[in-house]
Amino acid sequence: MLDNKSRINLIGYSRQELKAEITKLGEKDFRTKQLWHWMYHKGETDFNKMSSLGKSLRKKLDSSYVILRPKIVTEQLSKDTTHKWLFRTEDNNEIETVFIPEEDRGALCLSSQVGCTLTCSFCHTGTQKLVRNLSAAEIIGQMMVVRDAYGEWPSNGHDRKLTNIVMMGMGEPLYNFEQVAKALKIIMDEEGISISRRRITLSTSGVVPLIERCGEELGVGLAVSLHAVRDELRDILVPINKKYPIKVLLKACRKYPGSSNARRITFEYVMLNGINDSASDAKELARLLEGIPAKINLIPFNKWPGVEYECSSHHTIKQFSEILNERGLSAPIRMPRGRDIMAACGQLKSESQAIRKYSERDKLNISVTN
Ligand code: SAH
Ligand code: SF4
């Protein structure tokens, strides 16, 4: 049995990088396309089953490379079918991925970082101390596991449930632009996983300098975590606002490449009781967004242990939505999904500490019984 550690994991390799490996092995270019197809279209992880590659190449690949999936620590299924995975990375960090299936479609919420360097006051992920960027392999790996779990590779022949991707898990995707872009380009490649940019949305707290590049290079849908209409409040809720205040952020949104009435920018607005949910906040929001092809997503606040904010009442959220509707803005209320397994927006946080404590206690028990 070959040891995985001494072999190179090919997941996350771009076409150019795969081609370089194929050339190193003394093989012709067309093998790159074949290997790509096996890895990303068929989801095959065993080189020996890649029948079109020829025996000698299969052998060479198997001795130096490997196609890995991230290690699953736990998997939880909500009463409402939302599915959450906790993965452990090679360096013992943990990340979470959430899949939200619906009748004939489903959105996969991918993480871009371990934790998040930003400290939005209402977000659980922002309270996590440990932070690092995920690699393209770790971002794509999350998706591969979900496709495996739902049997979404072509050999299974039935309709796909995993139709949409949202970069709305742990982390700020525009603080890890290079790896996120690399992963999304692989996901969008028509000869591989082939999810169209129209079905991908990237959510940012407002990293203004990278918004334009995101539109130009990736062309994916943009979601902006606005959450407040005045700088004094947004400075507290979304502290990156001190660097890029509302006016500067909205200017970048106005210029977002590829946005149009058919492809609106989503403005996310978390509903916090007595903080940002008044009628005048709603009116000001409509005023601020004038001239931007926009839609608003009203997110009922999801609580997490230790947080002091409360979610606005249903009545208040409805009123807020109506004020926006009257001003020509679509503002649906997002149904919270997976709250019972802490999988809803902003609830993700690595459980590493809890798990570590648990295993230490476990060890103790073992030594006692011994
Ligand atoms: N870092 C990115 C993407 C991840 S968060 C961003 O901030 O946009 C995805 C969305 O969930 C963001 O709009 C975020 O503000 C929101 N969110 C965070 N914590 C929340 C909570 N406790 N309840 C509801 N929404 C929350
Ligand atoms: Fe980070 Fe987004 Fe949470 Fe803010 S809301 S702390 S940017 S993950």
Please report which helix (H) or strand (E) contains residue 148, including its range: helix 136-149
Question: Does 297 contact ligand 1 (Cβ within 6 A)?
Answer: no
Can you give the pLDDT at residue 155? Answer: 65
The alpha carbon of 148 and the centre of ligand 1 are apart by a number of angstroms equal to: 27
The alpha carbon of 193 and the centre of ligand 1 are apart by a number of angstroms equal to: 26
CA angle 10, 11, 13 (to 5 degrees): 70
Nearest ligand, CA of residue 125?
2
Return phi, psi of residue 196, to 5°.
-70, 150
pLDDT tens digit sequence for 235-246: 999 999 999 999
Query: Could you tell me if 312 and 300 are in contact, meaning their C-beta atoms sit under 8 angstroms apart?
Result: yes
Q: Does residue 362 surpass a pLDDT of 70? A: no
CA distance 243 to 246: 10
Q: Does residue 145 surpass a pLDDT of 80? A: yes
The alpha carbon of 161 and the centre of ligand 1 are apart by a number of angstroms equal to: 24
Hey, what CATH topology would domain 71-369 get?
TIM Barrel (3.20.20)
For ligand 1, atom 8, the nearest C-alpha belongs to 204
Domain boundaries, the chain: 4-66, 71-369
The alpha carbon of 225 and the centre of ligand 1 are apart by a number of angstroms equal to: 7
Question: What pTM, to 2 d.p., does this model score?
Answer: 0.92
pLDDT tens digit sequence for 198-222: 999 999 999 999 999 999 999 999 9
Residue type, 304: W
Q: Which atom from ligand 1 is nearest to the alpha carbon of 268?
A: 13
Q: Name residue, tokens 């990736």.
A: 218
Q: Which residue has the higher pLDDT, 27 or 349?
A: 27
Question: Does 126 contact ligand 2 (Cβ within 6 A)?
Answer: yes
Q: Name residue, tokens 């509707």.
A: 325
Question: Does 301 contact ligand 1 (Cβ within 6 A)?
Answer: yes
Question: Does 203 contact ligand 1 (Cβ within 6 A)?
Answer: yes
Q: Which residue has the higher pLDDT, 232 or 347?
A: 232
pLDDT tens digit sequence for 82-92: 999 999 998 99
**Helix (H, G, I), strand (E, B), or coil: what is residue 84?**
strand
Query: Could you tell me if 331 and 320 are in contact, meaning their C-beta atoms sit under 8 angstroms apart?
Result: yes
Q: Does residue 358 surpass a pLDDT of 60? A: no
Question: Does 115 contact ligand 2 (Cβ within 6 A)?
Answer: no
Hey, what CATH topology would domain 4-66 get?
DNA polymerase; domain 1 (1.10.150)
Question: Does 226 contact ligand 2 (Cβ within 6 A)?
Answer: no
pLDDT tens digit sequence for 111-144: 999 999 999 999 998 888 878 999 999 999 999 9
Catalytic choice (96, 138, 152, 172): 96
Nearest ligand, CA of residue 301?
1
Q: 134: which DSSP letter?
A: P
Ligand 1 pocket test target in 134, 172, 253, 270 with most atoms within 8 Å of CB: 270
**Helix (H, G, I), strand (E, B), or coil: what is residue 47?**
helix
For ligand 1, atom 19, the nearest C-alpha belongs to 346
333: β partners: 298
DSSP β-ladder status, 200-204 and 164-167: parallel
Is 345 one of the annotated active-site residues of the chain? yes
Q: Which of 208, 275, 210, 274 is nearest to 242 (CA)?
A: 208
Q: State the distance between the two ends of the chain, measured CA to CA, in whole angstroms.
A: 33
Can you give the pLDDT at residue 268? Answer: 98
Can you give the pLDDT at residue 163? Answer: 93
Q: Does residue 369 surpass a pLDDT of 60? A: no
Residues 6+ positions from 212 with CB-CB distance below 8 Å = 252, 255, 256, 257
The alpha carbon of 16 and the centre of ligand 2 are apart by a number of angstroms equal to: 33
pLDDT tens digit sequence for 297-325: 999 999 888 899 999 999 999 999 999 99
Query: Could you tell me if 338 and 98 are in contact, meaning their C-beta atoms sit under 8 angstroms apart?
Result: yes
Q: 37: which DSSP letter?
A: I
Catalytic choice (116, 120, 253, 345): 345
Confidence of residue 348 (pLDDT cuts 50, 70, 90): confident
For ligand 2, atom 4, the nearest C-alpha belongs to 120
Question: Does 116 contact ligand 2 (Cβ within 6 A)?
Answer: yes
The alpha carbon of 170 and the centre of ligand 2 are apart by a number of angstroms equal to: 7
Residue type, 124: H
